[in-house]
């Protein structure tokens, strides 16, 4: 057990595979409480930190909303303000990439917020949940883990499903201790001041032979749009009129659908190239993949930002300078 002077970690349970148990009709669904999840974790007595559990949601992560994560960010801020040294979020892995990145944008403080989950539910042989929770608690209690980034899911079922495609892992848990290998050059945070402003943002991927029909159908339906473009930020020439029309009405961001590397700003120059799109008022996402670009766009719009502020935010996040 830990003493009264030990750091405290706030744990928020949201459900997901890690909290699922078999039902009478077959299959699994979220059922375990946060306390039940922690009771299955060996080695907590040696953590060196107190743990306070909050059952925030109990749903599969595909059913989480952006509003849920805004509310979660506020709950985390309250716990950190009351003296918690860090926070752990336990949720399903289907949308763990989105939750982690959105929390990264909304959390402006230095305290670590660690998001974890599991690929194997507790009824399977070799569930990975307990070890993942323990590692998350060890990371959240460590003074080393501050102002760090998030990961992405890169496999549907593998326990090695999480990657950092542009830079690799920033660190590891070794013998119960956080060991950093590198540290990000900087962090972009855009906490929303005041009440959450409901907005609708979309994500449309361009495909081989695309004629822009989905883009035309998007007119008047969104407050902002992200386009998952080919390669370094290119789209079929046939889609350019629809994109230009949309960019005249709402902020439109183009990101690379490859999920790795940056869109360009000034290399290619033809209809549908990055130079053409930037010239028509679109915003480059830089190193952000389409999923993360949509979340940054959403947070900026929810905070009332205009196009110039949104473009500046994407530049700060590693976007093109053009």
Q: What is the 3-state secondary structure (H, E, C) of 227-254?
A: EEEECCCECCHHHHHHHHHHHCCCCEEE
**CA 200 vs CA 175, 221, 250, 322: distances in Å:** 45, 8, 11, 27
* 144: number of Cβ within 10 Å: 13
Catalytic residue among 2, 17, 93, 201: 17
Its sign, for the CA torsion 10, 182, 70, 163, is negative
Is 17 annotated as catalytic? yes
Burial status of residue 258 (CB atoms within 10 A of its CB: 0-12, 13-18, 19 or more) = middle
Phi, psi of 10 (to 5 degrees): -90, 125
Euclidean distance between CA atoms 121 and 98, whole angstroms: 21
As a dihedral over the C-alpha atoms of residue 131, residue 137, residue 139, residue 140, rounded to 10 degrees, the angle is 160
Burial status of residue 209 (CB atoms within 10 A of its CB: 0-12, 13-18, 19 or more) = exposed
- Residue count of the chain: 322
Q: Which two tokens stand for residue 175?
A: 């013998």
Interstrand relation of 152-153 and 162-163 (parallel, antiparallel or unpaired): antiparallel
Euclidean distance between CA atoms 46 and 109, whole angstroms: 27
> What residues does 53 pair with on adjacent strands?
11
**CA 131 vs CA 2, 107, 119, 126: distances in Å:** 20, 25, 12, 10
**CA 321 vs CA 71, 270, 285: distances in Å:** 33, 19, 11
Catalytic positions: 17
């Amino acid at each position: 057990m830990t003493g009264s002077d030990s750091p405290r970690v706030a744990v928020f349970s949201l459900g997901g595979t890690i909290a699922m148990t078999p039902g009478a009709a077959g299959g699994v669904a979220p059922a375990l409480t946060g306390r039940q999840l922690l009771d299955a974790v060996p080695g907590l007595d040696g953590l060196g930190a107190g743990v306070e559990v909050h059952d925030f949601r109990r749903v599969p992560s595909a059913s989480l909303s952006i509003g849920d994560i805004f509310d979660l960010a506020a709950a985390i801020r309250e716990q950190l303000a009351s003296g918690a040294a860090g926070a752990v979020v336990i949720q399903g892995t289907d949308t763990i990439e989105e939750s982690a990145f959105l929390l990264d944008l909304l959390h402006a403080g230095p305290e670590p917020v660690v998001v974890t989950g599991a690929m194997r539910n507790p009824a399977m042989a070799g569930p990975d949940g307990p070890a993942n929770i323990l590692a998350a608690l060890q990371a959240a209690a460590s003074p080393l883990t501050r102002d760090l980034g998030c990961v992405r899911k890169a496999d549907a079922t593998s326990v090695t499903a999480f990657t950092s495609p542009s830079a690799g892992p920033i660190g590891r848990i070794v013998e119960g201790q956080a060991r950093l290998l590198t540290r990000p050059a900087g962090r972009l945070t855009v906490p929303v001041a005041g009440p959450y402003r409901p907005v609708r943002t979309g994500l449309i991927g361009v495909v081989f032979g695309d004629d822009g029909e989905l883009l035309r159908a998007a007119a008047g339906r969104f407050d902002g749009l992200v386009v998952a473009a080919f390669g370094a930020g290119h789209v079929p020439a046939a889609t350019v009129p629809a994109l230009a029309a949309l960019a005249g009405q709402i902020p439109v961001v183009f990101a690379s659908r490859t999920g790795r590397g940056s869109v360009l700003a000034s290399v290619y120059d033809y209809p549908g190239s990055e130079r053409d799109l930037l010239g028509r008022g679109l915003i480059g996402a830089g190193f952000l993949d389409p999923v993360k670009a949509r979340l940054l766009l959403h947070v900026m719009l929810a905070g009332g930002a205009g196009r110039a502020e949104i473009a500046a935010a994407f530049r700060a996040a590693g976007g093109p300078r053009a």
